[in-house]
Structure 1
Amino acid sequence: MTNGAHTLLPRHPAAAFGGGAIIGALGGLIGLGGAEFRLPILIGFFNFAALETVILNKAMSLVVVATALPFRAGTIPFGVIADSWPIVINLLAGSLIGAWFGAGWATRLRSETLYKVIAIMLTAIAIVLIMGHDAAAGQPLLSGMAQVVAGVAGFVIGIVAALLGVAGGELLIPTLVLLFGADIKLAGSLSLAVSLPTMVVGFTRYSRDQSFSVIGRNKSFLLLIAAVSIVGTFIGGKLLGIVPNAVLLPALAIILLISAVKVWRH
């Protein structure tokens, strides 16, 4: 099943620039690429169809995540990430399969159903944002074989990432901190290491659907908003020390909840 293109609003460069900057700043404030906030804007403001939105969001997220990992190398060297390869492999074992299945399901869902699935997942991410983002690193909750089995969480995260076109960091980071006891900064980089191949798998699956042609029709729009999102992410990271978490996280969760309602009613 495929979705038709919506062109009610022009893909105006100024609108794309402003939207990308805001999205990137929001993402930078919480240590993500901003894909969760990009999704409702692509649907509600730029009027892309549900599946086209997910595919475009996935493409933009790939650009942001691919640049974020080397940007963080000054703080978290690649060698440190490599030392945690068992954790990355554990989560990837589930997330790669989940991404393939999630993308396959998205291409078969009716647009109305996909809008509702997106709205529910945005609500869930808002809840995780409040409850899990400030979790403190320490001893992992599980160890040994129990921890390996718990890595099935990667399967669920892969499905969510594919269905929304996001990197899945808001779910991966709490999982890495709580299940594996990772430091929050290391968790951010490990999250990117898991997200990148997971997103490539989902993107590959989407490329088999006719709606993938939205990439070719909107190349300039995609590159502009992705590039500005990267700049916005940098700015948001600088603002992080100014905006207190007690205000920031509830405000961002409210934005996601409002977006979920609008997407549900779209």
Structure 2
Amino acid sequence: MDDPQFQYVQGQSRPGFPSLLAEYEAESLAAVAAGPCALDQRYGPSERQAFDFFPARGRARGTLAYFHAGYWQSRDKSTFRFIAPAFADMGLNVALVNYPLCPSVSLPALVAGASACVPAIHHLSAEGAADALPLVLAGHSAGAHIAVELALADEHAASNGHAIDGVVAMSGIFDLAPLVETSLNDKLRLDAASAAACSPLHRVRAHAAPMLVVVGEEETPAFIDQSRRLHGAWTDAGNRSALHLAPRADHFSLLRHFALPGDPLFEEVDSLIASAGRRGAA
């Protein structure tokens, strides 16, 4: 793992990514057409502070908020709407969250901006619900980092009023130090000190939400190591965590497993959400 540029950028790329993303785009258009959904729900003053909301089909038993990939500097929620139908069918509201991007904002400002979505999603999810619904944050790549940061910042975590009841962290980067020497830093603009300050791996605490840490078996050793280290830090702090190494999955095909009913990963997410509901009712 001596070459960060390979481990975090070039080594994660696959020839099939463009065609796979095109499939995701087409399926996302179909998800919107099938509905119901409420697109571009604002949660702050920035144009990027918006989420798409797909209500649960039938009685809602929880809400899943999803933060997309893009190394904190690209992509959009619209590409990933395809994940919503499978989770809506299992009784979840699904919110797909956009957030401000670097270099228009710093990474700390990005995370702070994203945090405003939590009360907004809770508010929309509560409409028509008899009881408060558990909220699970799911994120992929940069989105996993954001989800973990928001979980660690949850000021209600040690009480019975949990704002965040679970986290699914997929293929994330949680120690940002290696990125300083990569091309990603052209827009992230981190130095050693700011990279450390923006690394949730160094700030894991007790009383954090239960976690499912996920990484593809075919990802680079550095990405797999990042997930293993987060899982270890979470459990060392006395929190509940499970580590899922998805077979035959790379960085983007992993999302197929995530949103496929019957897949072992999908079933683990379902179990986390069920336990989050029990935690929220405690």
TM-score of the superposition, structure 2-length normalised? 0.28
Query: What is the TM-score when the length of structure 1 is the normalising length?
Result: 0.29
> Which has more helix, going by share of residues?
1
Which is strand-richer, 1 or 2? 2
